[in-house]
Structure 1
Amino acid sequence: MMSPRSTKFLWILQLLVIGNVPLVFSSVKPYPLSWNTTHDFGYDGPWHAIPLRIGRPEQTINLYPGGSWASVVLGTHIQDAWGNEYPNQDWLKGSEVWDASLSAPQRSGSSQNNNIAQANRGGVSGSIDGNWGGQVAMNMTGLGVQITDRVYFYTPDNGIAIPNSTLSVLASANMTYPDGKVVPLDMGFLSLGAREAQRWDPYVGNVIPDYLSINGYTPSSSWSLHIGSAVMGIPGSLIFGGYDSTRVIGDIGTYDTTDGFGGMFTELVDVQLGVASGSGSPWSFQNKTNLLQDAGSKTQVITTRMNPTVPYIFLPNRTCQLLAENLPVTWRWDLGLYTWNTEDPQYERILNSPAYIKFVFNRPAGASPIEIRVPFALFNLTLTQPIVDRPTQYFPCRPFQNNGAEYHLGRAFLQAAFLGMNWVTSKWWLAQAPGPLGLASSIVVISNSTETITTSAPSSFWTDSWKGILTSLPIDGNPSSSGSSFQPSSAGNGTESKGALSSGAIAGIAVGASVGGVLILGMLFFFWRTRRTRFTKQIPSPTVSQAQPSIPANTSTDAQKYELPDRQPVAYELMSREQY
């Protein structure tokens, strides 16, 4: 005779099976995604991307993170519900394209069609921009079809499969530049979720963060993102169910998202030019404010949207002009962008110095504004074919007359900014992100009730994270003869300082110090240095395995892909929890 405890266990087990509640035996934890470590991408980058394996047999497609609901994928051989194939444009060589004809719509032994790759859900059109407004900003046209299929993404301790993941597969997608040149999209977007799954009766299309939370993988339907910089060697960070607190520096802006699509809107109140403390300036000033102006040269406040699905920084024309007046750039009307005059000595002075553009945003509830500094080193981006005939360095401020549309702050800005969102509480976060030098990763859980997040790094750490990377300037704006890197600021709030000690003064202090003082200073310096580490040598959080799966790269390459150092490939088995 069974004991009451055994009977109760069987009753619970039966309830789970009949109720189709997933049995989850592993720990609930945040899941950081692995990024492509062999290639960077983009006609206008280079940018980091995340590999995603789609369908059966699996095809690896690299995607930029961003957008809501369906992930956007360039496709071929896409059919509607009646088996009619959509007219498909010719994608450029090296583009990240998924062949829908290779994905089996149904597998033997399955009582339910869990991986429908070829059925248009009742004629539902797919988004071509990830639903975050990039279509208008980038002047995009195209055709997408809404489908579902199994997807699999890499994590440091192996990977996770998502059945019936909602996808917007594009038969065509093009951007038109001011001179009329039509440029095909080169890559799609990895969705960052939605409040719930998409439904087209009787079908359900899973969205990744929601699925992970409901099925007991992550503690909440949430995400955090720092796209990093391919140019400066800052790796990307995308975590579902948590965030890396060392990617968050200083003050944090907490905002509401209420549009149902995860729109991240905030008021931009000023754009400024500045130089980190401890360095001279490449200009005749240390700081210039009130550059956010309208056509009548009046200061203004604009609503901006954080959007990693677009490459540029879309600002009023007058603001881009005021910035350009202080830079060695040339306006290219055919591109709608400024290109760097790389032969001008000021080009290297500015890009190698700790000079930056500061973006000042309002925060709700009367909190002081939040400031995001983007050093010019991150603005040394490159246009390649088919946008231009030969590689061209450009400055990513794009004059934009919004006419009721949104001003977007795209990937160029987000190289220096942290974003996060909790779909459950409808809160999102904005903060300063670090440079190439960083602290060891510290992953923090985002729970279903999380409305605020914290940081492991004070405001002064932003300067530390660029120390040794950027070169300080004397007051006259020329590089110092010693080529010394600029020193960390002692100011906790990151404000500029004009009173840095000279090297002679520092030497005098050192000579006059006692032997005991020198020893103490040396010990402190050694301790401080050993605690610092580059991102490439981070020690993962205990919740994340140190093993990094090798990311398979497409065999074809072209001008917009950038080779990174080779890595020894490692084979990994798929997780046993995959669903079919």
Structure 2
Amino acid sequence: MPSLVHHMLLLPSALLALSVSHALGAVLETRQSNSTTVPAPIAIAPDENWDGIDGAWSSFTLRVGTPQQIVRTLVSFTAYQTWVVFPAGCEAAASQSSCAQSRGGVFNQSASSTFDRIGIYDLWIEANLGYDGNAIYGNDTVGLGGIGENGPTLENTIVGGFAVDDFYLGVFGVNPKPTNFTSFNEPSPSYMTLLREQNYIPSISAAYTAGAQYRFTGVLASLTLGGYDESKFVANDVDFAFAADNERNTVVAIQSIVTPSQIESSPVGTELLPAPVYAFIDNTVPQIWLPLEACLAFEAEFGLVYDNATELYLVNSTLHQDLTTRNPNITFTLGQGLSGGSTVQIALPYAAFDLTAQSPYQGLANTSYYFPLRRAANDTQYTLGRTFLQEAYFSVNWDTARFNVSQCSWDQNAQQHLVALPSVSEDNSSSSGTPNASSPSSNSLGAGAIAGIVVGAVAAIALLIGLGVWYVRRRSRAAKTAEREKLGEDEEVDVPPREPEHTVGEPVGGEPTGREATVFLKAELEGSSPLPPANNRDSDNTRLLSSSHGSGLPGTPGTLEAPSTQGYFGPGGSSSASPTTPSGGEGTHSSTQSGSGRNSRSILSPLSPSEASEADSRERHVYEMPGDMPTIKEKDGRVLSEKEAIAHRERVYNGVDSAPTSAVAVNEGVREPRRVNPEDVVRADTHAGAEERNANMHRAFSFEDRKDESSGELYE
């Protein structure tokens, strides 16, 4: 019972601690509890080069092979392999070294001791846009970042070497799809999958912006694996789901493309997209591919001229100057559907479209300005390429099949702030997994959630406390009821008739004490049966040692009129259901029954027989200690308390003269210490076999007064 109550009282505290710790520590819970298994996102530092023949693009350095060979590549969210340029790609160039430099460096497979050739296969991706070519594939070691940058390095990853011109620079693919060279039963994992399996990143996710050479002194690209950089974009609440085609899954609806009107009196912008379309976001290619009707609207608005030979919108110096002076903004409105719903707007300045193409791109003989807009033959070619991602921040979580597009933030003083995107195993309930208006605190609890948890915890604690108090009271009432019922049964069996009411000034022995408070006699607790007293003078003071033959006084406990039952000491014995209640200094013993008959012995007296059963069922020697009963303390006319009345009745009706014999007892209410002489201690069992006892010896070692009543103590 006490243990159960104790645990119940501890439960509310435990629940409160659990609730508070959960509410206040939810943000850090994943990192603290899984610090050894859940890593932080990786920010891949770009190199400081602007590469490409179709524009100036911020590239990333890779370390490939053994020993390491340095190559620069562009990032692709569509590719799922690492592509590098083989030396054969520069064999036809007038200067192979210049060609290798412009292509970001070449990789010599023969110089790598870890290159394990698989075979020649098509490049496959971007075939719908007219890109073609093949590559020699094999397994080799690939590390991210330049030498000394301590980027992750993986062994046995897929590397494809090509020599075609369609992909001029190498490609670092971050798509997690596996490569199936022979059959679908033996796929080769992608670089992103290996990073996640080897615990380099928290999830298969990535975020990217292409960088903008025209911003400030040139803002480099940003690539984060396993999360995103919060400092790079303006958050929004638009969350996109993957499309059904896994070859083109990051599809958005372009609801409108608008540029400000050149007519000053008309505040309405010019619509450059006649009808909404779905487009694929793909940073593998540089241009924006739109329907022919949209391209014609661009031509009419900006004076563009389409070159059929190169299939590019080449811009001469005059038009370039006019467009630079005008500096129009072009705003793309994106949504999940072709109309309605939540949308996000991405605004691009004209500088984002002011690109330069070089030979041999698209068969160009000379370097020329060009506007990165391409005519799409059908809806499978509608694409938003790297031009669009100069001003847009693009994050994809393949674990949750969600992605986000946000406007880039151009703050030179912003500090990098990486945020992990959750994996499926970490957040099954998450439908997002991409940055949005609430993403910076997506791992935290809102104020309403915290308040709800706290209120719920408090309510639960109050309920538990109430149940605990009710349970304790219920058990206490039940225990008290059982005790009262038990005491009631005992009184019916053992308690003799109550004596008439008398006053303290009229003691049982007939000697006045000077007290006038009215009290009621308490039935004497059942005791043993010593021999009758030697004379009548002691009869009034021997109530504690009542005889089985009766004391001769009417109503005295222990007389033949008192009922008795068979007790623990054999046939004819009686039992006592309740022990006497000890008072200070009285040395009260447990009350039991005495045997019937002439030779019955008292088991209440200190001279009781040795065969009496102890509480622990072991035989022990009983020693009687000499002493007397303390006298009642004068209450100065106050009504006695219940406790004091009980103590008084114990003294009076157990045969002790309550007349004050000591000034200390009267005035202080405290007895002087009882002095015990060792020689006065008598072993009770030494008289166990005696048929009769000497009354004087008995009185010398019981609670009775000696014949000399003038003394205030039993023993001097």
Q: Give your verdict on TM over 0.5.
A: yes
Give the Å deviation of 1:198.
6.1
User: What is residue 158 of structure 2 aligned with on the other side?
Assistant: 166
CA RMSD after TM alignment = 3.3
Select between 426-435 and 44-53 the one with higher mean Cα deviation. Answer: 426-435
- Contact 2:400–2:433, Cα closer than 8 Å, also in 1: no
The structure richer in strand per residue is 1
User: What is residue 113 of structure 2 aligned with on the other side?
Assistant: 104
Instruction: State the TM-score, normalized to the length of structure 2.
Output: 0.49
Alignment of 1:113-512 (within 5 A): 116-120=115-119, 125-128=121-124, 131=125, 134-137=126-129, 139-154=130-145, 158-170=150-162, 172-175=163-166, 185-195=167-177, 205-232=188-215, 233-257=218-242, 258-261=244-247, 263-274=249-260, 285-293=266-274, 300-344=275-319, 345-351=321-327, 355-363=328-336, 367-387=341-361, 388-402=364-378, 405-435=380-410, 437=412, 439-448=414-423, 449=427, 451-454=432-435
3-state DSSP class of the match of 2:127?
A: helix
- Contact 1:254–1:429, Cα closer than 8 Å, also in 2: yes
Deviations 1:367-424 (A, max 9, x none): 322211111111111112223333321111112222x522111111111111111121
Give the Å deviation of 1:209.
2.2
Alignment of 1:16-27 (within 5 A): none
- Contact 2:403–2:434, Cα closer than 8 Å, also in 1: no
Aligned-partner Cα distance in 1 for 2:246–2:324? 44
User: What is residue 48 of structure 1 aligned with on the other side?
Assistant: 58
1:65 to 53, 68, 75: 75
Gap change, CA 1:231 and 1:99, over 3 Å in 2? farther
Question: For residue 290 of structure 1, what is the amino acid of its counterpart?
Answer: E
Deviations 1:90-124 (A, max 9, x none): 7845323221111114xxxxxxxxxx43232xx6x
3-state DSSP class of the match of 1:28?
A: coil
Aligned-partner Cα distance in 1 for 2:303–2:410? 24
3-state DSSP class of the match of 1:162?
A: strand
Deviations 1:422-475 (A, max 9, x none): 1211112212223474632221111113524345899xxxxxxxxxxxxxxxxx
Gap change, CA 1:338 and 1:242, over 3 Å in 2? same
Gap change, CA 1:29 and 1:88, over 3 Å in 2? same
- Contact 1:273–1:357, Cα closer than 8 Å, also in 2: yes
Aligned-partner Cα distance in 2 for 1:311–1:119? 30
Question: For residue 421 of structure 2, what is the amino acid of its counterpart?
Answer: I
- Contact 2:179–2:190, Cα closer than 8 Å, also in 1: yes
Give the Å deviation of 1:46.
0.6
Report percent identity of matched pairs. Answer: 20
- Contact 1:268–1:360, Cα closer than 8 Å, also in 2: yes
Give the Å deviation of 1:321.
2.0
Unaligned runs of 5+ in 2: 1-34, 440-716
Unaligned runs of 5+ in 1: 1-23, 79-86, 106-115, 176-184, 276-280, 294-299, 459-580
- Contact 1:136–1:405, Cα closer than 8 Å, also in 2: yes
RCO higher in 1 or 2 (8 Å CA, sep ≥ 6)?
1
3-state DSSP class of the match of 1:213?
A: helix
Aligned-partner Cα distance in 2 for 1:289–1:348? 18
- Contact 2:196–2:203, Cα closer than 8 Å, also in 1: yes
Gap change, CA 1:412 and 1:193, over 3 Å in 2? same
Aligned-partner Cα distance in 2 for 1:283–1:376? 19
Bigger CA radius of gyration: 2
Aligned residues: 384
Aligned-partner Cα distance in 1 for 2:322–2:306? 17
Aligned-partner Cα distance in 1 for 2:116–2:87? 12
